[in-house]
Copies of this chain bind each other. A is one copy, B any other.
Amino acid sequence: VKKSGKTDAILREADATGPDDMLFRVRVVLVRPSHPGNIGATARAMKTMGLASLWLVRPRMFPHPDAVARASGAVDVLDRVRVADSLESALESCGFAVATTSRRRELSHPLVTPRAAAQRLVAATGASDAALVFGNETTGLTNAELRICPLWTMISANPLYPSLNLAAAVQVLAYELRLAAFQEKVGKGTPAPASLADVERFFRDLESTLVEIGFLDPASPKRLMDRLRRLFARACLEREDLNVLRGILRSVRRS
């Protein structure tokens, strides 16, 4: 799946709205991160979800061996880190930015769920790059930095202890970004469901077999069959399931 050079460019052009491409266009911006370990863990969280572009605004310590250690197999993301002097310059060429906050602010501003924020970010990548912005571990983003971002998001958390680790918050948002990018592409290759008619036939067979073996009273079959119908309806029978179940009924009748 790794492609490069011309091929890459051609593929991007051809499928500019593919989920992987959308994710490449979302950059993560860490503003004034204190702990280099969190930078590494952020790189790892990003790469697991298909994000590649990490920007740092005035990191306290970077590069740093702790970042490398926590990045694990995502050192390539660290190698390509861009460091900026200000949030403004880290958002260069971005058409859209979402700020994360861990508490409600006095400033009134559109505050949406991570899910909604991810959908907006992914949608924005159709036009240009988009950014997801995280503040310092302790102090968060300043009001001035928040104001630069047209949309804010907050991860719903335990009010008694809402302190997600920085990289953990990145992981949650990156997870939502991946879901948003791949939305509705799920379910390819799911097994063929049984047809309704076949399922009905199975229920008739089941009923008569249960009468035959003396389990079901033919005078009042209703409640029992309703329960069994409910049970199998929840299971979303596949075609192959039905073949197995029919085979079992045949064996029971022969036994």
The reply on A50 being an interface residue by CB < 8 A is yes
The stretch from A9-17, A90-98, A145-153, A158-166 touching chain B is A158-166
Which of B72, B234, B238 sits near A165, CB closer than 8 Å?
B72
The stretch from A78-86, A126-134, A197-205, A244-252 touching chain B is A244-252
Which of B168, B227, B232, B251 sits near A171, CB closer than 8 Å?
B168
Contact B157 A215 (CB under 8 A): no
CB distance from A247 to the nearest CB of B (A): 6
The reply on A105 being an interface residue by CB < 8 A is no
The reply on A61 being an interface residue by CB < 8 A is no
Interface SS, A side: helix
Which of B159, B165, B214 sits near A255, CB closer than 8 Å?
B214
- Inter-chain CA distance A244–B231, complex, in Å, is 11
- Inter-chain CA distance A233–B48, complex, in Å, is 29
Contact B248 A165 (CB under 8 A): no
What residues of B have a CB within 8 angstroms of the CB of A171 in the complex?
164-165, 168, 171-172
Report which A residues bind B (CB closer than 8 A): 1-2, 41, 44-45, 47-50, 72-74, 113, 155-165, 167-168, 171-172, 175, 178-179, 182, 186, 210, 212-215, 224, 227-228, 231-232, 234-238, 240-241, 244, 247-248, 251-252, 254-255
Given pairs A167-B168, A212-B255, A232-B235, 10 additional interface contacts (CB within 8 A): A2-B160, A45-B168, A164-B171, A172-B175, A214-B251, A228-B244, A231-B235, A231-B238, A234-B235, A235-B235
Pairs A–B under 8 Å by Cβ, sample size 6: A1-B160, A48-B164, A72-B163, A155-B175, A213-B252, A234-B235
